[in-house]
Structure 1
Amino acid sequence: MSTKRLPNKAIILACALLVLAFAACTQAQPTPTVTQMVAKETGALAEPVTIRIAVLPITDALPMYVAQQSGYFQAHGVKVEFIPSASAAERDQIIAAGQADGMINEIVATLLYNHQQVQIQIVRFARVASAEWPQYYLLASGKSGITTVEGLKGVEIGVSEGTIIEYVTDRMLQAEGFNPEEIKVVAVPKISDRMALLSSGELKAGTLPDPLAFLAIQQGAVVVLDDSRHPGMGHSTYAFRKEFINQHPEAIRSFLAALEQAIGEINAAPEKWDSLLSEQKLVPDPLIGSYQVPQFPTASVPGEELWNDVLAWAKAEGLVQADVAYQDSVNPTFLP
């Protein structure tokens, strides 16, 4: 049997064409960037989702600004847009209108959102009062003559009613042995008014958050009690609209992963953030340079015991009428 042979040139040409075709199919991929490598490892989104946060000018928000400044949000594949809110009431209006997706709030506020149907979910602690780092301070006016907890019995204490401020005030005094009849609160919703009335002596006592409590102390107020004596009562949380969580679960996961990096950076060097605190107006200017940034909690959510205690208080105050299930309102599944 005869075999027909291809000419040598034809064989070489055929081989060359095969090599070129193979090379075209197996071209080397470009070296991935750091952002792409982080995205691959963390499961960050290929198409960045924009997360809108209604943010108050409070120290609790510092980790978000650090995550933005350090590029952690970008590295994890999300864009974060801050929507300034002057007050909790304005923040809640922005969320209710769907103009923001998330916020820093606390359990009392979440109960009020969810008492009829689940509208938001807590996904992480923002801050937690500890034995070393108090968050709320019960202050007496320097003109009141009150210097001890006992001196507060029957004295009107300025608070914002139906908020974490009133909850912490009640629970701290109860833990100090006060009975309900000995605890008197008066509604002074605006913190600026509370500070002014304390300074003038028109208000004998009031509860203020960190860092504004320190400004009041500079102006002559006296610390009578703070939640470092009763850790775990004072807190704040990150919460998101349930609709947004359902639509963008990976964006929430990426947001929290970036936040965790920022918190690690802050806790390792809490003294280096004065310029950012001043730039974002998270701390009053007179305190810049002397204010100590607190340690922020690592990835965690409020426990069921704290939730149930706040719920019991809210029901007793008439803020909610029925139970609100912990499992429906607190979602730990996105924590890194």
Structure 2
Amino acid sequence: MFKSRLLLITSSLILLAGLILGACAQATPPLTTPTAISPAEPVTLRIVVLPILDTLPMYVAQQKGYFDAQGVKVEFIPAGSAAERDQIIAAGQGDGMVNDLVSTLFYNQDTIQIQIVSLARTATSEFPQYSILAAGNSGISSVEGLKGVEIGISEGSVIAYTTDRLLQAEGLSPDQIKTIAVPKIGERMALLGSGELKAANLPDPLSSLAIQSGAIPILNDTKHPELGNSEISFRKVVIDEHPQAIRGFLIAVEQAIKEINADPSQWESLLTEQKLVPEPLIGTYKIPPFPTGSVPSEAQWADVLAWAKEKGLISKDVSYSDSVTAEFLP
């Protein structure tokens, strides 16, 4: 009798425990593996590049992985001339470029096609960007000697603008300034070297090479650094579609600029690899400081606009605020 009662109690306890455990099991939600959040696909920005020093920070940012860190993929599209660069941009086959204020005016004279988002490079009191040189056998040694002398330029360009404005700043009147169109830089250098051209305006570092080869420096924008600059620009449609990518791009470039400015001597292999500096200058050429976190001023824009209207290159005003934005600066 006792055994039967004990067996009954034991069975009841086992049944009760089972019910309790079953209830607990139902009350505890099943464990689930969290869904992994995949990072957004990096935006690809296609940058049309000329073989010019102004693009060095972009190459450094690429080499150091700074674009990747910002979630931006950069594809460089080489162009042999400003005309080829502009064709690629106009066709929508490139997204951004290094250009200048004059070029931007032409893009935006009818509708806003591109926006400047940053300075790429600017002249300083020690480092020129544009230089007017005389041929070694020309007998010209001063600005006065350039009166009435044909100066080789590319017409309707930043070269033409800086030629006029530099000489005017030094006292020459417009009728004393004579120019001749030699659009190809290589040809302009060769004609200057042979003496067939008595004078020419050349961008740095090609001006340094010409001087090393015997040309005579007459005037450059170290005296008037507000005149010499280049810009980073993007197509407006790309800016509107990928504002964060533009911001990330500039953060990466800024990081590269700080490294370059801190130690300009460590980039010779990159200069050679990308042909940013002529071979004979490697080892002696000093890299200029690059500007950080800035855009051209409204006064600079207004002067280029005034010059273009004086020359009959454009007939109406082009808005600074629509063409230049500081919104994406780091």
Alignment of 1:85-234 (within 5 A): 85-234=79-228
Counterpart among 63, 67, 81 of residue 73 in structure 1: 67
Which residue identity does 1:195 align to in structure 2?
M
Segments of 4+ in structure 1 off by > 2 A?
4-21, 27-30
- State the 1:197 CA deviation: 0.7
**Cα-to-partner distance string for 1:129-176 (whole Å, 9 max, x where unaligned):** 111221111101001011112211111111111111111111111111
Classify the secondary structure of the residue corresponding to 2:314: coil
Alignment of 1:1-336 (within 5 A): 7-8=16-17, 11=20, 21=30, 24=32, 46-336=40-330
Rg comparison, structure with higher value: 2
- State the 1:56 CA deviation: 0.1
Structure 2 CA distance for aligned equivalents of residues 261 and 121 of structure 1? 22
- State the 1:71 CA deviation: 0.2
Give unpaired runs (5+ residues) of structure 2. 1-11
**Which piece of structure 1 moves more, 245-254 or 230-239?**
245-254
Classify the secondary structure of the residue corresponding to 2:270: helix
Cα distance change on mapping 1:10 and 1:48 into 2, 3 Å: same
Give unpaired runs (5+ residues) of structure 1. 37-45
Structure 2 CA distance for aligned equivalents of residues 83 and 219 of structure 1? 31
Structure 1 CA distance for aligned equivalents of residues 140 and 231 of structure 2? 33
Structure 2 CA distance for aligned equivalents of residues 295 and 11 of structure 1? 77
Cα distance change on mapping 1:272 and 1:17 into 2, 3 Å: farther
Cα distance change on mapping 1:243 and 1:28 into 2, 3 Å: closer
- State the 1:24 CA deviation: 3.6
- State the 1:209 CA deviation: 0.4
Classify the secondary structure of the residue corresponding to 1:273: helix
Classify the secondary structure of the residue corresponding to 2:88: helix
Which residue identity does 1:291 align to in structure 2?
Y
Classify the secondary structure of the residue corresponding to 2:67: helix
Which residue identity does 1:97 align to in structure 2?
A
Structure 1 CA distance for aligned equivalents of residues 52 and 116 of structure 2? 18
Classify the secondary structure of the residue corresponding to 1:62: helix
